[in-house]
Amino acid sequence: MKEKVKIVILGGGYAGLLTAVTLQNKVHAKRADITLINKQDYHYLTTKIHESAAGALNPELIHLPISDLIDTERIHLVKDVVLKIDLMKKEVILKKCSERYDYLVAAIGGAPRTFNIPGLKENGHFIFDFEGTERLREQIKNQFIKYNADQDESRLTFVIGGAGFTGIEFLFEFLEQIPKMCKKYGIEEEKVKVICAESATTLLNGYDSRMAQDAWKSMQKLKCKVLGGLAISSCSKKEVLFSDGKTVKTNTIIWAGGIKGNPILENLGFPMLDGRVIVNEYLEVEGHKEIYILGDASVIFSPEGEPYPPSAQIALQQGQYCGKNIALKVYGQPIKPFNYIYRGAVMSLGRKNATGVVYGNYINGKLASFIKYVIEMRYYYMLGGLRMLAKEMKRERLIIKNHSKDTIPKN
Ligand SMILES: Cc1cc2nc3c(=O)[nH]c(=O)nc-3n(C[C@H](O)[C@H](O)[C@H](O)COP(=O)(O)OP(=O)(O)OC[C@H]3O[C@@H](n4cnc5c(N)ncnc54)[C@H](O)[C@@H]3O)c2cc1C
């Protein structure tokens, strides 16, 4: 009888979770022990965290216990923080213990890219993970409440750094919530100022130009200042300094300036690009066929040699591929290279508007918004078929019925 293979997956985000559920279906329990390690015992829908940050979505809707999504009889779930990887011992060092591996899947996401802007790390709010966006929502709410007590106008000035995909999606959600917040706290809407600064002079580089045009047109109608070609040079708790030398007083700096790789994977001698590990066509690290790096922690290249921007779409396809690939290796079968299929991108421009290109077809408005919803629902199907989809839709209905869809209490 063959010895059991020990498979360790780091990260319960899109890539890690898809690897886990694929493996649980493809490898018999007699052949492998599978461990999934994640900082939290819940999974969150990263593609929607900007909505809950803005108060547009009840956070419960994007917060899912991992044990509801995997077969805990098959997968050993460990809630712990990964500290480092010991390549020699084939061991992962966690805060509370360590785990030996035969195959390691590092799907631990990235980290916010701050470009070493002084004061940003300490004072910025990052649209990056669930906990951070929870803090941001509280911060925004508190500014409205505290303004009523001290009339400090800088409380109602919000600066967003970065008008990329995430920055734009957040901007629209946030601006839609402002009238509701003002009504709730009895503040005139004109008092609230939102400034979005983007160092580039063009929007959404790397995406279809029609998406950028739609976003730009819709932004013209918004009650906010969008400053193109202007970078944030530094910030403190109370002020932002821009690259043109001007300052703005604010208590809330929201950073959406992109992500870099995960620091845990630095200094392991792996080939890197912007802190992300360059993997081969099998998503393995060159020279370490037992180590896969997936999702935002890694980088893959288009046939033209351009690095693909990190996305959930890549992470999900990689997770499924990696699960299948390890299963093939366990059973001694030949493996095939990873073939990324780009299906398009849809960007929300508020609750009922979006823009995107799907399978080469340009869509916008309510249709695009609906397609985005379908893409989100498809994720549940990928995780656990129709049963998971029905379960999650039911859960969603219950949360909305018992609480509310957003987090701004009605008057
Ligand atoms: C607001 C927003 C909107 C987006 N919209 C889209 C979109 O519409 N379409 C799209 O394709 N992409 C979108 N993206 C990008 C997409 O969400 C990411 O590319 C995707 O989440 C990457 O998946 P991942 O599994 O690599 O990492 P993640 O989803 O970040 O998961 C990483 C997991 O690892 C855990 N972890 C990290 N470090 C440790 C550690 N040291 N120890 C233990 N656990 C750890 C984390 O807690 C997390 O659970 C969006 C991103 C954001 C922020």
Range of the domain at 239: 120-257
The mean-pLDDT minimum among 47-61, 163-177, 204-218, 307-321 falls in 204-218
Q: Is the pLDDT reported for residue 410 higher than 50?
A: no
Pocket of ligand 1 (CB under 6 A): 11-16, 37-40, 46-47, 49-50, 81-82, 107-109, 127, 166, 169, 264, 295-297, 310-313, 315
Q: From the CA of 223, how far away is ligand 1's center (Å)? A: 30
230 and 305 co-located in one domain: no
84 and 140 co-located in one domain: no
Catalytic residue among 91, 138, 153, 169: 169
Residue closest by Cα to atom 41 of ligand 1: 82
Examine the fold and report which residue of 242, 257, 272 is the final residue of a domain before the chain moves on. 257
| % of the chain beyond a pLDDT of 90 | 89
pLDDT digits (tens, 9 = 90+) for 185-235: 999 999 999 999 999 988 887 789 999 999 989 988 888 888 889 999 999
Q: Directed axis angle between helix 130-150 and helix 165-185, to 10°?
A: 40
Domain membership flag for residue 175: yes
144 and 176 co-located in one domain: yes
| Three-state DSSP state, 272 | strand
338 and 210 co-located in one domain: no
Counting the structural domains of the chain, the total is 2
71 and 14 co-located in one domain: yes
Examine the fold and report which residue of 229, 257, 285 is the final residue of a domain before the chain moves on. 257
Nearest to 185 by CA among 151, 157, 221: 151
**Amino acid type, 391:** K
Q: Could you give phi then psi for residue 336, rounded to 5 degrees?
A: -115, 155
252 and 184 co-located in one domain: yes
Give the mean pLDDT of 379-404.
90
Q: Could you identify the atom of ligand 1 that is nearest to the CA of residue 81?
A: 42
25 and 153 co-located in one domain: no
* CATH number of the CATH domain containing 235: 3.50.50.60
pLDDT digits (tens, 9 = 90+) for 36-74: 999 999 999 999 999 999 999 999 999 999 999 999 999
Domain membership flag for residue 253: yes
* CATH number of the CATH domain containing 291: 3.50.50.100
337: which DSSP letter? -
Q: Could you identify the atom of ligand 1 that is nearest to the CA of residue 294?
A: 26
Q: Would you say 411 and 180 are in contact if contact means Cβ atoms under 8 Å apart?
A: no
125 and 205 co-located in one domain: yes
